[in-house]
A and B are shown apart, each in its own frame.
Chain A
Amino acid sequence: MSVQPAEPRVAASGAELSALIVAIATRADREAFGRLFRHFAPRVKSYLVRNGLSANAAEELAQETLLTVWRKAAYFDPTRAAASTWIFTIARNLSIDLKRRERYGDTYQAEAHEDEVDETSGETMLMTAEREARVRAALAKLSEEQATIVRLSFFQEKPHSQIAQELGIPLGTAKSRVRLALNRLRALLEDLK
């Protein structure tokens, strides 16, 4: 897969990205939308291509994801989710819906999912920024192989065979390594409490 950076890397902090969504919500700020689009659309496209969509479909859905961000910006609550997590959730829901439409036609409209990211139950007291920082810290503590396994598990529809291939190990071994890696991730994440 040839991957070209879409943009010179501009370091954007989570707080800045969240502020862009809030600017869209409060004053329909098109410039904020442009910056958000330039940051996230190429990443969403990359995620969707890894998820098995064609480059064209991924491009369309990346557009659709950012347009949904524009329309639903008022639902975004920066105290409950990071911008990247919220946008990830939108892309996830749209890709589920697209896969369904490809199989069954357009007879069914998925329910609106604004509430989904809000469901943080016992964790709402923990500030989002802190949780996001700790999630990144947990990911950084994984070994390189475990990080690869987590990434492939997230982004591949049939991760086991892909993991076996990338790591050059038998399928059975891949399954047990996946179990170990995900249990470790979960243990690290549960330290967040």
Chain B
Amino acid sequence: MSASTHPGTETLLRYAAGTLPAGPRLLVDVHLEGCPECRATVARLMSVGGALLEACEPLALAPDALDRALARLDRPSTRRNPAVLHHAEAAGATPPKRWPLPEGLKLPPGVVLPPAIASRRIGRLVPVAPGVRLGLVHLEEDPDAQVLLFRIAPGRAIPQHTHAGLEFTHVICGGFSDPDGHYGPGDLVECDAEVDHSPRVDDDGECICLAAFDGRIRFRGLLGMVTRPFL
């Protein structure tokens, strides 16, 4: 299989359908911020969702469903009101959350974290193997999601691991290679469970990347012991 640097069609479809788990969904969000082509594909797939919704065999609601809905129209929302939110943001009352860089993460000049990640709390990066540091990205919407931020020294291998489902890796800066090809900033790599791979970071600079999993991940050997408290 040749190297693909974009999410696969099935991943984009699951994203559009709303069935992709929170971790991979975040990585697709990050990719979409920088990829107009995939944004266009997602927009088309949303239209497919609309067409499929339109074609759904209607399933009758309770007889009083419309009356209940009409009665609720004038009641204030129990959910957060988006109009109010909008004004508050315009007035600068609730600036978008931005966490400071986690301890142990230094970004090269000119590199910033993608906005979808900068708005998340990231735990301190801890060394987990020679030349490899790892921090946990916290997802409020899914505390069990495993999204990892890796900082890996030049020429180092990303540690051997296996996983039950798909693995997604997004490159923030630097680059790495695996038997299929080379990946650089903005690329999103999907790897499936059958592949036992160990990508290697370029020699000319460190690589900062994100990883998320559709299924649980297991690292081998020492790294498995070190990361157990996180995973």
Chain A interface (Cβ < 8 Å from any Cβ of B)? 3-7, 30, 33-34, 37-38, 40-47, 49-51, 55, 58-59, 62-63, 66-67, 70-72, 74-75, 81-89, 91-93, 95-96, 100, 103-104, 107-110, 112, 114, 117, 119-123, 131-132, 135-136, 138-139, 150-151, 153-157, 159, 178-179, 182-183, 185-186, 189-190, 192
5 closest residue pairs by CB, A with B = A85-B50, A42-B58, A84-B50, A112-B82, A92-B18
Which B1-38 residues have C-beta < 8 A from chain A? 9-10, 13-14, 16-19, 22, 32, 36
Range class of the B interface residue count: 35 or more
Contact of B10 among A40, A45, A155, A182 (CB under 8 A): A182
Contact, CB under 8 Å: B18 / A59: no
- A121-B59 contact, Cβ under 8 Å, with A37-B69, A88-B50, A154-B17: no
Q: Which residues of B contact A (CB under 8 A)?
A: 9-10, 13-14, 16-19, 22, 32, 36, 39-54, 56-62, 65-66, 68-70, 72-73, 77, 79-83, 85-86, 140-144
Contact across chains for B41 and A186 when beta carbons are under 8 A apart = yes
Provide a sorted-by-A list of 12 A–B residue pairs whose CB atoms are within 8 angstroms: A43-B59, A70-B73, A82-B47, A100-B141, A109-B79, A117-B46, A119-B32, A119-B39, A119-B42, A120-B39, A153-B14, A190-B41
The DSSP consensus for interface residues of chain B is: helix
Task: State the CA gap A58–B62 with chains docked (Å).
Answer: 11
Residue B82 contacts which of A37, A72, A136, A139 (CB distance < 8 angstroms)?
Answer: A72
Query: Once bound together, how far apart are the Cα atoms of A178 and B9, in whole Å?
Result: 10
Known contacts A185-B9, A189-B45; 8 additional CB pairs below 8 A are A5-B58, A5-B60, A33-B69, A41-B61, A43-B53, A49-B59, A112-B82, A154-B13
